[in-house]
Amino acid sequence: MEFKFVSISRIHALPMRVGVYAFFASPTCPPKLSRRRKLRRSEGGLLYIGKAINIKERVKNHFQQPNFKDNIFIPETTKIGFIITGSEIEALLLEAKLIKKRQPKYNTVWRDGKSHNYVFITKEEFPRVFVSHQLQLTNNKKLITNNRGRSFVIRPMLSVIVGPFVDGQALKQTLRVLRRVFPYRTCKTLPKKPCLYKELNLCQAPCEISAITHNLRDRANYEQVKKFTKIYKKNITNLIKILRGQKNSVINNLKKEMRLASQKQNYERAHKIKNQIFSLENVFSHSRILKSATVEGIEFLRGTKELGSLQGRIEGYDISNIQGQQAAGGLVVFENGLPNKNEYRKFHIKIEGQPNDTAMLKEMISRRLKRKEWPVPQAILIDGGKAQLGVALQLKIKSSKYKVMALAKRNNELFIEGKKEPILLKNLPPEIANLILRIRDEAHRFAISYHKKLRSKSFLP
């Protein structure tokens, strides 16, 4: 991928798309070319590289609201380069690749050792995946520190290291969504029995397989271990490739594997791979991992004819449970496009033993509406489809003025109160679609985190 360029006098011509942007200065002399890394003459004077949900608005923000670092390189800038990507995750991965390869002059955060973010994949029978910071190289050993400030040594050849990445928060969010597609373990030592991550389909529970490896005389056990190990390592390999920006290669290989499984009449395996491909494509199409400059200002929340104004308070609702057990409800609040975590609320659902999400949602919303002291929202957004929308409308008092919406996951169809047909998010203005997805994803995250807490408490004696 190569940059396309506009002069600083034509910033209005930049695309309002997700991607990577770069600031360039006119080089005073031709760049030096080395055998290891050759730079094109058009790329001389590369000052800074960044990523954005909306390239045009992000670049304008650098000029209109410059911070200390912006004031260093903006006076030198003569042109802007940009590369459009298909998703926010691709923008994150491309930014990391370009900064590592081309070493922009003013990406100082990149050179601050404490800000380096790496993904480590251990070389064990069932590799562990985790994020950490590289501090320095010591005697051919990599000294790593975790988020708590504790340091430990990773010896060469004991881990696969992918990175570095600039945006640690976006990297962690990317790993969270990719873990749904390629489950992996994060525990330092395998536990004696599976944990909650297995039930959430975020880990394949290699601890179960490890427990039976001592009895490999049993042919069935041997085949089970062999099959599991092969699938687990293949998932890890695909995860590494994705993080290195090789998404298309992974998808093509999965399609070949699916066809081969189908030819061998292993339809169950073929169906699982098909679901994996769909999930991966969905992750890259819809996952929101970047902080949006377009959503942070009231001027961008003008709404649409169908939605009305989206300024003010918007509440997002989601339910999390496993077969009706330890059901939890999460209510998140966004005000003028930004999350207000002081207003978040948790609901321990009283309905137990039946996996009925609509009934649980009805309980949650009815309990919320009884709290007359809470502020009235401008709109509420529910994770679900027409059925969930109907539940919320049943509970809505006629005199209430808030708008009710429900967002279905599969095609990102937005069901809106008073509209017979849903609207596809891709047909809405990008800033509106991004806000709605961000609220839905935050409600989902908040509900799951509370559900995990309830589950962990239930395991205690």
Chunked into runs of 10 residues, the chain (461 residues) has average pLDDT values of 89 91 76 44 72 90 80 89 91 89 72 65 88 56 58 58 81 90 89 83 83 56 80 92 90 93 89 89 78 42 54 86 75 86 87 76 89 87 90 84 86 86 81 83 87 70 49
> Tell me, what's the pLDDT at 36?
43
| Other beta carbons less than 10 A from residue 72's beta carbon | 15
> Tell me, what's the pLDDT at 39?
41
In the chain, where the domains are located: 4-30+39-106, 115-286, 298-459
Q: 255 in helix, strand or coil?
A: helix
Q: How far apart are CA 42 and CA 426, in angstroms?
A: 35
Q: How far apart are CA 453 and CA 4, in angstroms?
A: 48
Tokens at residue 56, please?
Answer: 């045009």
> Tell me, what's the pLDDT at 37?
44
> Tell me, what's the pLDDT at 380?
92
Domain 4-30+39-106 matching CATH 1.10.645.10: the answer reads no
> Tell me, what's the pLDDT at 238?
93
Sorted by sequence, the CB contacts under 8 Å of residue 302 that are 6+ apart come out as 309, 310, 311
Which residue, 140, 142, 139, is CA-closest to 116?
142
Q: In terms of pTM, does the model score above 0.75?
A: no
Which secondary-structure segment (H or E) carries 232? helix 219-243
> Tell me, what's the pLDDT at 260?
93
Q: Residue count of the chain, please give it.
A: 461
Sorted by sequence, the CB contacts under 8 Å of residue 94 that are 6+ apart come out as 1, 19, 20, 51, 83, 85, 245
Superfamily of segment(s) 298-459: UvrC, RNAse H endonuclease domain (3.30.420.340)
Q: 305 in helix, strand or coil?
A: coil
> Tell me, what's the pLDDT at 359?
87
